[in-house]
Amino acid sequence: MLPLVPVQPKNIEHYRGVAGDEVIDEILRLAEGLKGARVAHINSTAHGGGVAELLYTLVPLMSSVGLQAEWHIMNGDPDFFTITKLFHNALQGMDIPVTSEMKMKYLSVCGENASDCGQDYDFVIVHDPQPCALFAAMKDRAIRRGKWIWRCHIDSTFAQDDAWEFLVPYINLYDGAVFTMQSFVKSQLEVPCLAFIPPSIDPLSAKNIIPEKRVQSDIARRYGVDETRPIMLQVSRFDPWKDPLGLVDCYREVKRNHRDLQLVYCASMADDDPEGWHYYEKTFNYADGDPDIFLLSNQQGVGNVEVSAFQAMADVVLQKSLREGFGLTVTEAMWKRKPVVAGAVGGILLQVDDGVNGFLIDDIGEAAEKVSMLLDSPATAQRMGEAGHDKVRRNFLSTRHLLDYLRFFHILLRN
Ligand code: UDP
């Protein structure tokens, strides 16, 4: 069997207060018809990045409503993850040649994983390109009893043709596919069932509960950040699409008029992202020893509580992404009533309403202008933060996400 990721149990009833009776009752009604269904999620890492973050909540919530949900991770060596990161980048629009060696290695690792993959499920959700071809490699694919779903989390708006054309025949074998937005779907996709489901955050997780003021102050002190001075924050992997150098440029521009500004960048190094260290080094060199730039990561003990504390202490949160499937970090910050200044790309267009709960920006100059404006006008920042919190409550909590999956399971069974 593929390695199983242990998850802490969760209780759907605990979410009534935050999500409302109507949503919980509808979840329980739909779950009734799916009682005992065996569900497997398969992805490529248990640590770092948005997919792992989602599964730590979605899997136990599915179990809490009577399904038997499990989470497995695929096996792969460093060469495989280097190749899948290149696929990821090509699917987000980078001009990268997809060579036959890359394809062969990818298919061979997916084939090895297929032979370790159990068959006895009612629903299998395969996340992102890394394990996508695993289903094609299953020997008894034609006689299995469950429904297989491919879940795309990346921003494929500008997918490079070679990469998409390589992958699409493998996607088309699935019973269904889930994308965050319609604009992520490319030509030649012919899965029988398609759904558009945005991701979500868990309002009850350590990441989204605001630590007490005293804990926040301790955390600021531990990392040398002065909480009495303005903080501009980005929480992201070190990745070209998160534009860490553009973020530093933006900070420098704002700092011209806000001399006491600090930039905090919290990053987590994901197991399936071999580019992390390379981009960390680039950003570190670019920061050029500026004592007001703090590049922090899970390697220095920045975990859920620390991220939450920095989100709570920040005056403005940035997400200077150039592509983004859906920035969980954007939603996490909005939940903490922070205005977010974010790249007008991909899933961020669903998350941020320009001028209402944050600002959508196209370049560094625009980002700097909006950050300055928010620093100069705390009342505007507060009003936008409240609007953001309300938007997340209505649209982007785990309960809505679970409901969407249950609806999709019913549709697949009807088909
Ligand atoms: N994250 C974290 N610690 C960090 C940096 C990021 O826990 O130092 C989390 C972040 O809070 C979010 C996830 O990693 O929940 C990143 O998800 P997102 O969708 O924003 O980006 P992805 O990494 O999937 O592209």
Q: Give the tokens for residue 337.
A: 């009533």
Average pLDDT over residues 123-129: 98
> Can you tell me the mean pLDDT for 220-228?
98
CA of 283 relative to ligand 1 center, distance in Å = 17
Q: How far is the CA of 268 from the centre of ligand 1 (A)?
A: 7
What is the model's pTM? 0.97
Q: Running DSSP on this structure, what letter comes out for residue 136?
A: T
* Sign of the alpha-carbon dihedral angle for 303, 308, 314, 316: positive
Confidence of residue 144 (pLDDT cuts 50, 70, 90): confident
Q: Which tokens go with 297? A: 């990561």
Number of H helices, E strands in the chain: 15, 12
Ligand 1 in reach of 235 Cβ (< 6 A): yes
Percent of the chain with pLDDT over 90: 94
3-state secondary structure 373-396: HHHHCHHHHHHHHHHHHHHHHHHC
Q: What is the pLDDT of residue 386?
A: 98
Which atom in ligand 1 lies closest to the alpha carbon of residue 273? 23
Q: Is 364 a pocket residue for ligand 1 (Cβ < 6 Å)?
A: no
For the chain, the helix, strand and coil percentages under 3-state DSSP, each to the nearest 5: 45, 15, 40
Q: How far is the CA of 8 from the centre of ligand 1 (A)?
A: 19
- Whose Cα sits closest to atom 11 in ligand 1? 329
Confidence of residue 140 (pLDDT cuts 50, 70, 90): confident
Please work out whether the CB of residue 323 comes within 6 Å of at least one atom of ligand 1: no
Kindly provide the b/e burial profile for residues 90-106, where b requires at least 16 CB atoms within 10 angstroms of the residue's own CB.
bbbbbebebeeebbebb
Residue 139 has pLDDT above 90, yes or no: no
Ligand 1 centroid to residue 390 C-alpha, Å: 21
Token pair, residue 393, equals 């409550």
Residue 237 near ligand 1, beta carbon < 6 Å: yes
Tell me the CA–centroid distance for residue 50 and ligand 1, in Å: 5
Residues 103-128, mean pLDDT to the nearest whole number:
95
State residue 48's pLDDT score.
86
Cα(288) to ligand 1 centroid in Å equals: 25
**What mean pLDDT is reported for the chain?**
96
Answer whether 327 contacts ligand 1 (Cβ < 6 A).
yes
* Position 145 pLDDT exceeds 90: no
What number is the average pLDDT over the span 41-69? 97
Domains of the chain, with CATH numbers? 12-200+397-414 (3.40.50.2000), 206-395 (3.40.50.2000)
CA–CA distance, 253 with 364 (Å, rounded to integer): 8
Tens of pLDDT, residue by residue over 352-411, are 999 999 999 999 999 999 999 999 999 999 999 999 999 999 999 999 999 999 999 999
Kindly state the average pLDDT of the residues 32-37.
98
Mean pLDDT of 79-99: 96
DSSP per position, 292-304: TEEEEEGGGT--H
**Residue 224: left (phi > 0), alpha (psi -120 to 50), or beta?**
left
Percentage with pLDDT > 70 across the chain: 100
Distance 307 CA to ligand 1 centre (A): 9
- Helices 378-395 + 328-335 axis angle, to 10: 110
Rounded distance from Cα 238 to ligand 1 centre (Å): 10
244 lines ligand 1 (CB under 6 A): no
Q: How confident is the model at residue 322 (pLDDT cuts 50, 70, 90)?
A: very high
Q: Is the CB of 273 under 6 A from ligand 1?
A: no
Mutation test residue for ligand 1: of 328, 331, 334, 351, the one with most atoms within 8 Å of CB: 328
Whether 329 lines ligand 1, by a CB cut-off of 6 Å, is yes
Q: How confident is the model at residue 118 (pLDDT cuts 50, 70, 90)?
A: confident
